Structure 1
Amino acid sequence: MSLARRRRRTGALIALTVLSLLTGACGKGDGGASETRAVNGITYDLSPEQSTRIHADKVDSIAAQVPAAIRQRGTLVVSGSVGATPPLGFYATDDRTVIGSEVDIAWLVADILGLKVDHRTADFAQNFVKVDSGGVDAIVSNITVTEERKEKYDFATYRLDNVSLEVPKDSDWTYTDRKSLAGKRIGVTSGTNQEQLLVKWNDQNVADGLPKLDLAYYQQNNDYYLALASHRIDGYVGPNPSAQYHVAAVGQSKVIATWSGAGDALRAEIAVLTKKDNGLIGPVQQALQYAIDHGTYQKVLDHWGLGGEAVKQSRIDPPGLPKRG
């Protein structure tokens, strides 16, 4: 079995182990894994078929604005990262099909543009490489708008960016402010706005004469959760949707702080990312706004328990996280 296949299976097994702790099984897949589970009043469809996915009709006036090469191809090629924990992006019960809220947002946009989704998987950094090379049209993968990224890419926002500090359930650590992080070992994914925020706070702490923050990096989301469970890290800073789901499903950790992905600087937002000035971001933004105005957008977020992170307006290239330094 290839390394990628082993990682995929490990992630899927951990996700399904999480889900096996929940109530509300409604069906079985070919592998015997339950294909529908409920947590916090939300029923999650884990099947590869995704028959419960929210769809929208094509809007000709918006679809006509899609660059000709993409219209003629008939597909929107989207890159995204896959973790072990719902609801953002994870593997279905067949251990092959990528499902989750980010996939459904991609499909919603593609529906309105009259396209099908061709979903490609990559780790976080490789998503950007794929866009740079022209291998994909867009990234839909919990990407935060930043001023640095805006120099190379365009954005159309579709969700608030909230991040959480998750710690072991038996931890007696009380978070007050950035100074509470001094001397702690914290897991974070490289290249994310979470890392940028922690690096900034660490610099401020060191300038104040406090102990240095120890950042821990792993390959996969499930590695962070294993490190958290074994107390090899004091906490993990990651997307709030995944943290809240993991806490509710497993019951071995807790969230002790939640922030905007920009900290106190501004209200950070998650967005679809495309190569700059390639003509695609305009119709993507219009498709998102159409979905917002007509209710299908809210249905997608509610479907994955993310209704509280909805935006009222999709914006192109809004103010993003400031550049480092």
Structure 2
Amino acid sequence: MKPVSRRRTPWPAAALALALGVSLTACGANPPGAVDAVQRSASGVRVDLRQPLDPALHARLPARNRASGTLVSVNNGSFPPYEIVGDDGRSLTGATADLGVALGHVLGVRIKDVSADGLPTQLTGIKAGRFDFALGPIGDFKDRQGSDDFVDWVQEFVVFAVPKGNPDHLRSLADTCGHRIAVMSGGSAEKVVKDQVRKCAARGDRPLRVQSYKDQPSSVLAVRSGRADAFFSSQSPLTYFVAQAKDQLQLAGVGEANGFSTLYQGAVVGKGSPLGGVLRDAIQRLMDNGTYQKIMEKWGLKGNEIKKAGINLAVS
């Protein structure tokens, strides 16, 4: 699938501090009615995404972005509850979408969204300069910091989505030997599960079979259809998918380390890019004025909040 542009409406030159109009298209889809269900659950929280322009932050943007008046943000197209593609296949909602609108106001630029399949494609595109950043959130790990900088704005936990009743009795990563585990291709969970493959072999246990998929919906479908025994991924999107599965799925391994220490996630920029510091300070502004907290509450992510945005917070 070719990258698909999702362009937020340009800011009028004389009114940078007014609201952005958003027109979005995206690759991928979610189960029918999924968007409505999330929006109903979040309907009690109202968030005003309009923000005053910060001239100092605007002045710190890279010169080419100030000249063009745009920032190009790449994403995977479907990562609920952060990015939720509408039933029409075009509209986009979610915590990341809301945060992006608010950041556009603060920075005084148009944010042009582009969907690209898979994390490797996104990271390669950022490194090549085709995209300015990915708002994510994407997992921050020490071994990734050598080639990219991470502007962390949430914390996350990694668990399993399993069939209702947990027939294989998966309680933690240690229980995965002999099972078929779905993961997203190129993600941090894939690396951890592949490490577990070697551990299973080293102790003479039954082999662990890793199934890598390009996105969350494909991975969930593998479990629901019986092609995989579990999907190993971030707790926030798995909670969303379990809720949509209507008693077909449940979470397992909650509260366990599952191969991870404290897991930070955030935006990704090229190594050493001045955009990293600008995004950190713009996100912190939204944290300080309460907009960030309202967005997180709206999308059921209060448990994933952090108090201070940072760059490359991961230590392992």
* TM category, shorter: 0.7 to 0.9
- Aligned-pair RMSD on alpha carbons? 2.8
> Displacement of 1:319 after TM fit?
2.7
State the SS of the aligned residue for 2:307: coil
Structure 2: 5+ residue stretches without partners: 5-24
Given the superposition, is the C-alpha separation of residues 300 and 140 from structure 1 closer, same or farther in structure 2, using an over 3 Å criterion?
A: same
Which of 28, 32, 48 aligns to 1:16? It is: 32
The one-letter code of the counterpart of 2:42 is I
Given the superposition, is the C-alpha separation of residues 3 and 151 from structure 1 closer, same or farther in structure 2, using an over 3 Å criterion?
A: closer
State the SS of the aligned residue for 2:103: helix
CA distance in 1, matches of 2:215, 2:260: 29
> Displacement of 1:123 after TM fit?
1.3
> Displacement of 1:219 after TM fit?
3.7
Q: Which deviations, in whole Å up to 9, do the C-alpha atoms of 1:264-323 show, x marking residues without a partner? A: 5521101111011121101111111111111111111112111110001111122344xx
Given the superposition, is the C-alpha separation of residues 170 and 230 from structure 1 closer, same or farther in structure 2, using an over 3 Å criterion?
A: farther
Map 1:1-325 → 2, pairs under 5 A: 11-12=28-29, 14-18=30-34, 22=37, 37-38=39-40, 41-43=41-43, 54-83=49-78, 86-124=80-118, 125-251=120-246, 252-258=248-254, 263=258, 265-321=260-316
Instruction: Decide whether the 8 Å contact of 1:56 with 1:111 is kept in 2.
Output: yes
CA distance in 2, matches of 1:58, 1:291: 12
TM-score between the two structures when normalised by the length of structure 1: 0.81
Q: How many residues align?
A: 294
State the SS of the aligned residue for 2:106: helix
TM-score between the two structures when normalised by the length of structure 2: 0.83
> Displacement of 1:238 after TM fit?
1.8
Given the superposition, is the C-alpha separation of residues 10 and 115 from structure 1 closer, same or farther in structure 2, using an over 3 Å criterion?
A: closer
Q: Which deviations, in whole Å up to 9, do the C-alpha atoms of 1:217-250 show, x marking residues without a partner? A: 2344322222211211110012212111111222
CA distance in 2, matches of 1:16, 1:121: 21
Which is worse superposed, 164-173 or 308-317?
Answer: 164-173
Instruction: Decide whether the 8 Å contact of 1:75 with 1:118 is kept in 2.
Output: yes
> Displacement of 1:180 after TM fit?
0.7
Structure 1: 5+ residue stretches without partners: 23-35, 46-50
State the SS of the aligned residue for 1:216: strand
Given the superposition, is the C-alpha separation of residues 69 and 10 from structure 1 closer, same or farther in structure 2, using an over 3 Å criterion?
A: closer
Instruction: Decide whether the 8 Å contact of 1:202 with 1:213 is kept in 2.
Output: yes
State the SS of the aligned residue for 1:135: coil
Which is worse superposed, 251-260 or 153-162?
Answer: 251-260
